[in-house]
Structure 1
């Protein structure tokens, strides 16, 4: 058995032809949908980038217990479990966050990995002149682009070539997983020049919107950012097609599972916002594209309406390779969903650490905000105290409980640091903007009848039912007591 997981970052499904978009040039995503099962109710769990990847490794939510950070020592990691059973795993990626402090433990779980440099603010090529401070990722991106302008040097294309080297060398071998993981179409929305032409773009100017409302963007970003995103998406589509060609040419469909997914979406002016993290978690962010081909059931050119999540990918792959799923895993094997749309869950939680806790049953979405102006209490549970770019500071660690917490089954009862997260010490606080969401308060939408989420509903019966579902799922996923207190849930602590 073989498996390929092609993962993109910040893929908004409303821009894909496979989900009905008629102006972006994405024919290979439509071709992909014809060769796989397309999921319409696939949801993230934890956002953004590394929290979603921790879910893919572990089959568990991250956001109730932890902000952005590395894999923990007690985590059951998918590629590590495969390797222990003599199933090879390889990752080809240009995702620059893997070589920041908050992502350093992920790639080392694979049997081998190829790290392609140069995306966004990857501290790659040096330039002393004009340097002021290390965290200026926009300056570093300008430096990196001096070396990636030609198509053959673009990190996306180099990542594709790396993945194809693995496939070419191992197409006749058995028992392997390839994770072909791209940073694109994550901002900045870069692509070789030929992908700009269908969208009337002459340069890469205005390709990096701020994480800010629409009215705070420059006129150029307001006008051009969506087309830049579409150009990056067309590049992703073109090289996706090359992988599909390879599967066709070598008939790998017979014994190779294919999963194509993303970590989360991205807002490009919808609801008046650009970016992610700081606004309510609208459908464009959490309802993600997902395509799966399972050679056992051979279902293709079909859609599935069952509610599935990122945490389901890890147990699905373990089961596909005939391995036991650890007790701590909370995701579900999707084999029967793929085969005949069997329902595997009543509801799904999703969100960012310290922001709304969100729940959906597939029709309604309820977003529960912190019920006090301080967003307290809030704690990180960890043995790997790192943020995105830096370790926890000594000042933060002084806020940790002196007695280690050791009652969580998901952590195999390993003693954990419990570190106060409700303060202004986060080096990457601008990425999470913990208290920004309070101004929106609780929100509830009927996404079946209002898919654009323009009209919040005030049906108390629906809200109480969704709140009850949220509480039930928080209990099942061992939510810390303070999350109930922060949200002021009316059912008392678990």
Structure 2
């Protein structure tokens, strides 16, 4: 939840005369007590994704469970999600009824409002291509010739040893298909923006919050104790309407908390003192943001950090460390923590604990 005293990007832009729009199907964005819609003039919450309590189960939706592969360390949780998900989606008839098509179609409609209400800020959050991975069959057929058995539409987020190689391959194909569907409908949204002339004067930022494992390092899904590149390395794409910085890349450590300072910085505005992060818009001018000699993050009860030489993750209290030499092992395949305890201690004490301001709680 956003605390009542926390200033948001939308509220800052509201004060600058922006018309703010929000479209999402992500359940966490529209839980009433999360207050994520604060500062927006109009918002559309598309219901039914994942375990949104949208529709009650029916005999038909329960039958879908018979062809759904459930197992692994979080089998009960996965079954709960899928039972609700199938109940929510039983009335789909056309591709437009799937979630990412709904999100980007509604966002394209909102662009009509934005065109007449400039300057504007639009936040579009598509839960896809997150699991469950169940796009229309035409997308799955691009990556898989067929499959015999219950469909692996969810990973159970944990060790992947409960899955056969063919099941993992099918799961990855379904994920690829979901990505392709999402990409197609993102293209629909961008085509609309281009047709309205909006991209001529509007900055576009695309990013993702995390990746997925499909057997790499022995895991499937999003696992707190497996913070490898397939999970942590994601896109952060900026398109400037004037073409500034086109085609360039940066190795700067960037993350989602840099979005607000970047948007504000591009307009010559200062972020609120409560906001962390850096203004990345300087990259568009061929410069680099202020130096970040290291970066820290956390997921559930695990913490992660890296610098130019090493990456490390461990439990919140520093136990069970995993250390990797990024220069010689960029995919993080060989844990060298036991032979480098001094490096582990330095990264935990001087990076994680120092950045956190003290010992981390167990949650």
What band does the TM-score fall into relative to the shorter chain?
0.7 to 0.9
Distance 1:200 1:159, change over 3 A: same
- Length, aligned pairs only: 342
**In structure 2, distance between residues paired with 1:221 and 1:108:** 42
Displacement, 1:233?
Answer: 0.5
Of 297, 308, 311 in structure 2, the residue corresponding to residue 350 of structure 1 is 297
Of 151, 176, 179 in structure 2, the residue corresponding to residue 233 of structure 1 is 179
**In structure 2, distance between residues paired with 1:309 and 1:127:** 38
Distance 1:286 1:341, change over 3 A: farther
Q: Match of 1:98?
A: 29
Would you say 1:324 and 2:270 are equivalent positions? yes
Distance 1:164 1:80, change over 3 A: same
Would you say 1:443 and 2:322 are equivalent positions? yes
* Cα displacement string for residues 235-257 of structure 1 (whole angstroms, at most 9, x for unaligned residues): 11112222333344344333111
Q: Match of 2:228?
A: 282
Q: Match of 1:187?
A: 131
Would you say 1:145 and 2:83 are equivalent positions? no
Displacement, 1:124?
Answer: 1.1
SS in structure 2 of the partner of residue 136 of structure 1 = helix
**In structure 2, distance between residues paired with 1:346 and 1:321:** 27
**In structure 1, distance between residues paired with 2:332 and 2:266:** 37
Distance 1:179 1:448, change over 3 A: farther
Of 204, 211, 228 in structure 2, the residue corresponding to residue 265 of structure 1 is 211
Displacement, 1:199?
Answer: 1.2
Q: Contact (CA 8 Å) 1:208, 1:221: kept in 2 or not?
A: no
Q: Match of 2:253?
A: 307
Distance 1:158 1:201, change over 3 A: farther
Q: Contact (CA 8 Å) 2:264, 2:270: kept in 1 or not?
A: yes
Displacement, 1:136?
Answer: 2.2
**In structure 2, distance between residues paired with 1:334 and 1:223:** 37
Q: Match of 2:11?
A: 80
**In structure 2, distance between residues paired with 1:208 and 1:172:** 42
Displacement, 1:218?
Answer: 5.8
Q: Match of 2:69?
A: none
**In structure 1, distance between residues paired with 2:197 and 2:242:** 15
**In structure 1, distance between residues paired with 2:188 and 2:310:** 38
Displacement, 1:108?
Answer: 3.6
Q: Match of 1:174?
A: 118
Displacement, 1:259?
Answer: 0.4
Task: Name the Cα RMSD after superposition.
Answer: 2.8
**In structure 1, distance between residues paired with 2:40 and 2:10:** 5
Unaligned runs of 5+ in 1: 1-69, 373-437, 487-494
Would you say 1:216 and 2:167 are equivalent positions? no
SS in structure 2 of the partner of residue 137 of structure 1 = helix
**In structure 2, distance between residues paired with 1:448 and 1:241:** 36
TM-score by length of structure 2 reads: 0.84
Q: Contact (CA 8 Å) 1:304, 1:338: kept in 2 or not?
A: no
Of 84, 108, 111 in structure 1, the residue corresponding to residue 41 of structure 2 is 111
Distance 1:205 1:370, change over 3 A: closer
SS in structure 1 of the partner of residue 359 of structure 2 = helix
Displacement, 1:188?
Answer: 0.5
Displacement, 1:462?
Answer: 4.3
Displacement, 1:206?
Answer: 1.9
* Cα displacement string for residues 265-309 of structure 1 (whole angstroms, at most 9, x for unaligned residues): 111211110111342311222221111112366121221112212
Q: Match of 1:52?
A: none
Displacement, 1:362?
Answer: 4.2
| Deviating more after overlay: 157-166 vs 290-299 | 290-299
**In structure 2, distance between residues paired with 1:146 and 1:466:** 49
Of 347, 355, 358 in structure 2, the residue corresponding to residue 466 of structure 1 is 347
**In structure 2, distance between residues paired with 1:116 and 1:229:** 21
Q: Contact (CA 8 Å) 1:309, 1:348: kept in 2 or not?
A: no
Of 205, 215, 225 in structure 1, the residue corresponding to residue 151 of structure 2 is 205
Q: Match of 2:188?
A: 242
Q: Contact (CA 8 Å) 2:297, 2:305: kept in 1 or not?
A: yes
Q: Match of 1:422?
A: none
**In structure 2, distance between residues paired with 1:353 and 1:207:** 23
Higher relative contact order (CA 8 A, sep 6+): 1
Unaligned runs of 5+ in 2: 63-75
Q: Match of 1:292?
A: 238
SS in structure 1 of the partner of residue 142 of structure 2 = helix
SS in structure 2 of the partner of residue 481 of structure 1 = coil
**In structure 2, distance between residues paired with 1:179 and 1:279:** 31
| Deviating more after overlay: 305-314 vs 239-248 | 239-248
Q: Match of 2:285?
A: 339
